[in-house]
Amino acid sequence: MTEIPMDYRIGDNAYLAAGKQEGIETLVNRFYDLMDSRTDASSLRQLHPDSLDRARQRLVWFLSGWLGGPALYQQNVGNQSLAMSHAQVAVTRDSMQAWLDCMSQALQDCGYPQSFHDYLMHRFTTPAHSMLMMAEYQARPTSTTPSFSAV
Nearest to 83 by CA among 123, 127, 52: 127
Q: Given a cut of 80, is residue 36 above it in pLDDT?
A: yes
Residues 6+ apart with CB under 8 A from 6: 13, 17, 115, 116
Annotated binding residues, written as ranges, equal 129
Average pLDDT, the chain: 88
Distance CA 118, CA 6 (A): 13
DSSP 49: -
Annotated binding residues for heme, written as ranges, equal 129
Residue 111 gets the label, from left (phi > 0), alpha (psi -120 to 50) or beta, of left
In terms of Cα–Cα distance, which of 89, 78, 79 is closest to 134? 89
pLDDT at 2: 44
Domains of the chain: 13-138 (1.10.490.10)
Task: Please state, for a pLDDT cut of 70, what percent of the chain lies above it.
Answer: 88
Give the pTM.
0.85
Average pLDDT of span 32-51: 95
Going from the C-alpha of 60 to that of each of 9, 20, 24, 47, 101, the distances in angstroms are 19, 10, 6, 18, 18
Closest of 53, 11, 20 to residue 36, by C-alpha: 53
3-state secondary structure of 46: coil
The residue type found at 27 is L
